[in-house]
A and B are shown apart, each in its own frame.
Chain A
């Protein structure tokens, strides 16, 4: 098995293990520092620190364990590794903000621990190792699934692949190890193993896996920080709708797509009598009303639509259309927004405040990079809706493309 040992001859296995231990120690320190200095993912960082400390404490690097009784000598690294992967998986879930409860981790970890205990109690070191390796394989595969679920779709496939690679490698290594054990002759009656050193290539591989898992988790953390910055720069902090700059950006993009035949409609929205709510119930009620409206509209909009806050109580929805001049669909979507808001009053301090809004829908024109013509038309329809008595949708009757 493995590469020709003579090729790895220049490596000193105890030194590799010591380097690995140093790395675990420094990684634990780094995670503790991260948890203290940034409050981005403190619990995940502490779990990672614990995982590294556990690995550091249960890996024999200087032959100290050689003098320990056989049972302890074998149990320590087996339980240590299993516990380390369990902590790692818990940290990963926290880092990715998974809502899944840790039942599956507890089951796999518990069964693995049970297998190790049973193997050791039965005097078979190989059986214990086999149970440990199997559990680690399953946990590593769970980690792969976790990363794919957590970041999949939000990051490019290459980046996602790179982030799952360390966990896949860990699964592969444990699986290979388990297969090796199964193939070893006469493992049924195998006694507890001595404290022999792993081969050089295995020691190196372990070091690589440890280091790359740490890097993968740090990458996930940086990704979370960047995502937060993007959210903050693109969203209106009060309502979570796109801010004016981000909406203008989306409109620019949509206008560019319009040249290629991808149509869209603009729905200008203004909450009716918003000033009255502010004056009668205070600014906090006004803020709550804005949040209430955006919450309802976001739920009624499709994933492709974008809703932006242009200022004050004025919003605009950008509605991509399947066919360029499909005003009917745009009108239907907008009518849904109007009806949804009218049906759900805002609950403010035990009081139901009815809220309505007026809507103006219009199509954009080509050759207008900033989309101003469409906005002005939608704004005109909005004024018409206000003038006709509010709480209604007015749709422009201009033909698309006519200036």
Chain B
């Protein structure tokens, strides 16, 4: 036996979950300032859900002009906001225009439709639009997460969106299967009970998934802070040492590596004559100039001050010499523009290859360092092995 109290209780539960979720997203955006635009949109989506369902539940209690068309338009708006918020957290863009057009178009269609007695066409429009919007958002998120090769944010995090799309599609199709049925969610039918339970689970799941993605973003930031040098965004000493030890462990299994030690020439002179800010800018410029020489597998680290090192896996000394020579010419060709004046930059390069006899990576690093000092002694702006 299904009673009207059961559907109403479930409706109330979804409204409460959505309202609380709206508050949580609002405080994330305003108090914690985490992903503020996406969080605000998510708060809007939950608020629209709560309002749409509240108005729906109050049909017959409040005037019809409030509880029918506005409720349906709010429902579409909540799907539209959701379809904007989820991709926004993943891609960091807020593609609101298509969603806004979809809501406006649906509102116009709903205005044109008669709301008397048979409400199946409005229900088909609302549910169809909701399914289309969430499915589109799901596809965007799926592609984006899949492309990011994130082992910890797999593409299946787009799943809740597809489930919501499926649920709304089923609700739309049900009006064709049961021509005599009514799209009122309060009617105590088995279908409505199943639909409302699914909707409750998906509301919780979607909000939790999104919160997970937001937290993941924060964790990424921590990891970045822990392993990057804040000035140049290259690996810091600790992270580079780790990568080097890793490469050295592979050496025993037949995968070689080479190091390019880089030291900017006359850095102290530049710092003393133009100031610290110019020195910082010069380091950044050099790092930027070197980027085209790096493959995805290479590791670029700042060992301290003006000294950098590049780790080249699967590379021998000849390969390293080619890379270093290209780096040398790139740095020498890009002077630092500071206060309307060009300040020529150059760097000295020392290369070394990991050998099976090396007890640890430190020995290779020391050879590259010694080679770099020979380069300095030869008058700078040269590569030495």
A180 and B6 alpha carbons, distance in the complex (Å):
29
Are A12 and B204 closer than 8 Å at their CB atoms? no
Are B6 and A38 closer than 8 Å at their CB atoms? no
Q: Which of B174-182, B211-219, B327-335 contacts A (4 or more CB under 8 A)?
A: B211-219
CB distance from A44 to the nearest CB of B (A): 14
Cβ of A343 < 8 Å from any Cβ of B?
A: no
A38 and B214 alpha carbons, distance in the complex (Å):
12
Q: Would you list which residues of chain A between 212 and 236 have a CB under 8 Å from chain B?
A: 212, 215, 218-219, 222-223, 225-226, 228-229, 232-233
Cβ of A9 < 8 Å from any Cβ of B?
A: yes
Point out the residues of chain B lying under 8 angstroms from A33, CB to CB. 212
Given that A23-B204, A222-B34 are known contacts, is A15 also in contact with B225, CB under 8 Å in the complex? no
A119 and B168 alpha carbons, distance in the complex (Å):
52
Point out the residues of chain B lying under 8 angstroms from A159, CB to CB. 31
Are B215 and A211 closer than 8 Å at their CB atoms? no
A215 and B25 alpha carbons, distance in the complex (Å):
11
Point out the residues of chain B lying under 8 angstroms from A34, CB to CB. 212, 215
CB distance from A112 to the nearest CB of B (A): 30
Cβ of B273 < 8 Å from any Cβ of A?
A: no
CB distance from B217 to the nearest CB of A (A): 10
Are B152 and A15 closer than 8 Å at their CB atoms? no
Cβ of A16 < 8 Å from any Cβ of B?
A: yes
Q: Looking across the interface, which residue of chain A has its beta carbon closest to that of B14?
A: A19
CB distance from B297 to the nearest CB of A (A): 26
A34 and B31 alpha carbons, distance in the complex (Å):
22
Are A11 and B9 closer than 8 Å at their CB atoms? yes
B28, B222, B226 pick with most chain A CB within 10 angstroms: B222
Are A11 and B5 closer than 8 Å at their CB atoms? yes
Cβ of A30 < 8 Å from any Cβ of B?
A: yes
A16 and B13 alpha carbons, distance in the complex (Å):
8
Are B12 and A222 closer than 8 Å at their CB atoms? no
Are B215 and A15 closer than 8 Å at their CB atoms? no
Cβ contact of A15, chosen from B6, B212, B216, cutoff 8 A: B6
Point out the residues of chain B lying under 8 angstroms from A208, CB to CB. 16
A33 and B236 alpha carbons, distance in the complex (Å):
30
CB distance from B106 to the nearest CB of A (A): 30
Point out the residues of chain A lying under 8 angstroms from B5, CB to CB. 9-12, 15
Point out the residues of chain B lying under 8 angstroms from A9, CB to CB. 5
A208, A232, A245 pick with most chain B CB within 10 angstroms: A232
Q: Looking across the interface, which residue of chain B has its beta carbon closest to that of A245?
A: B230
Cβ of B20 < 8 Å from any Cβ of A?
A: yes
Are B9 and A10 closer than 8 Å at their CB atoms? yes
Cβ of B94 < 8 Å from any Cβ of A?
A: no
Are B3 and A12 closer than 8 Å at their CB atoms? yes
Given that A22-B201, A215-B24 are known contacts, is A15 also in contact with B32, CB under 8 Å in the complex? no
Interface of B is mostly: helix
Are A11 and B8 closer than 8 Å at their CB atoms? yes
Point out the residues of chain A lying under 8 angstroms from B222, CB to CB. 225, 228-229, 232
Cβ of B100 < 8 Å from any Cβ of A?
A: no
Cβ of A26 < 8 Å from any Cβ of B?
A: yes
CB distance from B238 to the nearest CB of A (A): 8
B6, B201, B215 pick with most chain A CB within 10 angstroms: B215
Are A233 and B225 closer than 8 Å at their CB atoms? yes
Point out the residues of chain A lying under 8 angstroms from B12, CB to CB. 10-11
Point out the residues of chain B lying under 8 angstroms from A37, CB to CB. 152, 212, 216
Cβ of A40 < 8 Å from any Cβ of B?
A: yes
Point out the residues of chain A lying under 8 angstroms from B31, CB to CB. 159
Q: Looking across the interface, which residue of chain B has its beta carbon closest to that of A287?
A: B237
Are B200 and A22 closer than 8 Å at their CB atoms? yes
Cβ of B205 < 8 Å from any Cβ of A?
A: yes
Q: Looking across the interface, which residue of chain B has its beta carbon closest to that of A225?
A: B218
Q: Looking across the interface, which residue of chain B has its beta carbon closest to that of A15?
A: B9
Residues 16-27 of chain A, each 1 if its beta carbon lies under 8 Å from chain B, else 0: 100100110010
Are A26 and B208 closer than 8 Å at their CB atoms? yes
Are B9 and A225 closer than 8 Å at their CB atoms? no
Are A26 and B205 closer than 8 Å at their CB atoms? yes
A159 and B226 alpha carbons, distance in the complex (Å):
28
Given that A12-B3, A215-B24 are known contacts, is A229 also in contact with B218, CB under 8 Å in the complex? yes
Point out the residues of chain B lying under 8 angstroms from A19, CB to CB. 9-10, 13, 200
Cβ of B221 < 8 Å from any Cβ of A?
A: yes
Are B32 and A222 closer than 8 Å at their CB atoms? yes
Residues 7-40 of chain B, each 1 if its beta carbon lies under 8 Å from chain A, else 0: 0111011001100100010011001101000000
A1 and B218 alpha carbons, distance in the complex (Å):
47
A10 and B218 alpha carbons, distance in the complex (Å):
42
Point out the residues of chain A lying under 8 angstroms from B32, CB to CB. 222-223, 226
Point out the residues of chain A lying under 8 angstroms from B6, CB to CB. 12, 15
Are A16 and B212 closer than 8 Å at their CB atoms? no
CB distance from A26 to the nearest CB of B (A): 5
Q: List 28 A-B contacts (CB under 8 A).
A: A9-B5, A10-B8, A10-B9, A11-B12, A12-B9, A15-B6, A15-B9, A16-B9, A19-B9, A22-B204, A26-B201, A34-B215, A37-B212, A37-B216, A211-B17, A215-B24, A219-B27, A222-B34, A226-B218, A228-B222, A229-B221, A229-B222, A229-B225, A232-B226, A233-B230, A237-B226, A237-B236, A243-B230
**B interface list, Cβ under 8 A from A:** 3-6, 8-10, 12-13, 16-17, 20, 24, 27-28, 31-32, 34, 152, 200-201, 204-205, 208, 211-212, 215-216, 218-219, 221-222, 225-226, 230, 236
17 other contacts beyond A23-B204, A219-B27, with CB at 8 A cut-off? A10-B9, A11-B12, A19-B9, A22-B200, A34-B212, A38-B216, A40-B219, A218-B211, A222-B32, A222-B34, A225-B218, A229-B218, A229-B225, A232-B222, A232-B226, A233-B225, A245-B230
Among all A-B residue pairs, the 10 with the closest Cβ atoms: A12-B5, A15-B9, A232-B225, A12-B9, A19-B13, A12-B6, A10-B8, A11-B9, A225-B218, A15-B6
